[in-house]
Each structure stands twice: as structure tokens, then as C-alpha cells.
Amino acid sequence: MVYNNMDFCLFDWFTLDIKVVALLIASGIIVGIINTLAGGGSIITMTMLAALGLDIHVANGTNRVVVLMQNLTATLTFLKKGLLNLRDGALLSIPVIVGNIIGSMVATTIDEKIFKICFGVVLVLILLYILFDNHRTIKDGHKLKIKPHHYLLFLAIGFYGGYIYIGIGYMILAITLWSMKMDIVTANAIKGFVIFVATPFSLLIFILNDQVEYSFGIIHGIGNIIGSFFASHYAIGWGKGFIKCFTAVIVLICFADLLGLISLHDIFYTLLGIEE
């Protein structure tokens, strides 16, 4: 059985195999933990959705549902704690929204082979980042300084986020920490808010092109929220090193699947006992 976007309607939960639901929630928890403590967890989401039978474009669109749910949770948390400056976040969100719309329009029409090549390049770059990150420490207390070129950088980030999204958190943190001199807490608050505000525009583009599987996205997103909550309250003690090593292993597995060295589709369906 191969799932596709036409098999489901919004909140049509009962058409999903209970084992698929369990996989979506369990993987969502893992993604939530990774994204909260490090980043790049959407690699798992994209690879898993494709392995479950979704077209790569539908997987890309469905991932936006998960992204929206996760960053809504993060934004509400930062607001509740008084750590988010809405004015600064709004200013940086404008170029990201514009870039997101353009990137999403490109993503919905581009050839699947080209998209997979881009996906593979992103996997390699994220793996290199994980392996060679110099663990630079940023001290607290820096004030936000937005310069004209920052808007151009966030426009480019928005385009990338609309196109493929994976690893966008690393890009935002790199600019906000190293170029804009934010402290790590402010940078994470801005990151979550900017992604949350821009994602609905990207999601709308995919919806208009019938490239969103709501059931998969919402169920996986629920797991994501659980993982984020667990990470922020308990898993933080595991340390950044453990999370980065774990993420590196996941990236290698996903890359092997993309190259055809292994088939996560066959592995998932065998483990779930689902006949195609």
C-alpha cells in the first residue's frame, strides 16, 4: 500500500494504519528533540514521508505543517517567558516571507530529480556543519543591530526555506549570532518566530498545488511538540555532543536512502507489517 495525497481528507484519521500513526508520532518526538537541542530534524521528516510513499513534493509540503506546529509552540514559549521582541522579529520576518513565497513556488514546479539533487547537497552540507562546527561560544547581553545587508541575507534564507527548509535554523543562527551579535537565547527566539510567521505563506503555496498530506503532517507534528517539550524540560542534560552525533548518524542513513544504498521504504513497511 502506497499512500498518496488523494487518499486522505483533513482529520480523516481512521484511514491510517495504527502502526503508521505510531511511526509518525515516534519519529515526530525524535525530530522535536533534535530540533530543540540542535537542528536539522526535518531531514528525518522528509525522508520518512517519502519512504512511506508520499511524492517528494508532497513530503516537502507536508513538512510545512510540522514546521508550523513546532515553531508555534516555540514562539508561545518565548513570549510567555518575555524573551521575544516582536518588533525585531517582525522586521526580519518581512524579507523571509517574500523569499519563502518565491522559494515555495519554485519547489512546487521543479523536476523531482533536481529537487533530490538539492536535497542530497543539503544533507552533505549539514553533515559537514555537524562534524566541523567549532562550538563557538556567544556571550549573552548583545543588542540586536539590523543592517541593510541583513535584510538581503534573510531574503535568501526565506527563499531557501520555501524551497527545501531543511537546515534553515542553522542559517538563521549563523547570521544572528555571528553577524548581528545576538545572544543565543535571543537568536533562538527570533529564529522560531521568523519561521513561524513565514511558514503559513509557504504552506499556502503547497496547499494551492495540492501538495500537502494533512493527516501525516498533523500527527507527525503532535509527536514533534511532545519531543520539543521533553527536550526543553528533560533531554537538555544529554548534552549538545550527543545530539549532534545522533543527528549525524540520521543524516548518513537518509543520504544512503537517497543514493539507493538502502531502502527506508522497504524497512518501514517490513517493520510495520504493511503490504503494498
Q: Mind listing the pLDDT tens digit for each residue in 148-167?
A: 999 999 999 999 999 988 87
Predicted local distance difference test score (pLDDT) of residue 150 = 93
Residue 1 belongs to some domain of the structure:
no
> Whole domain around residue 212: which residue ranges?
15-272
Residue 164 belongs to some domain of the structure:
yes
Q: What is the pLDDT along the chain (276 residues), one digit of tens a residue?
A: 444 444 444 345 446 788 889 999 999 998 888 777 666 778 889 888 988 889 989 999 999 999 999 888 888 888 888 888 888 899 999 999 999 999 999 999 888 888 888 878 877 877 777 677 654 544 444 456 788 999 999 999 999 999 988 878 878 877 887 788 777 778 878 888 999 999 999 999 999 999 999 999 999 999 999 988 887 666 556 666 776 777 678 778 878 887 888 887 788 777 766 665
d(CA 263, CA 184): 38
Residue 79 belongs to some domain of the structure:
yes
Residue 121 belongs to some domain of the structure:
yes
* Number of structural domains the chain divides into: 1
Residue 50 belongs to some domain of the structure:
yes
Residue 88 belongs to some domain of the structure:
yes
Residue 248 belongs to some domain of the structure:
yes
Residue 108 belongs to some domain of the structure:
yes
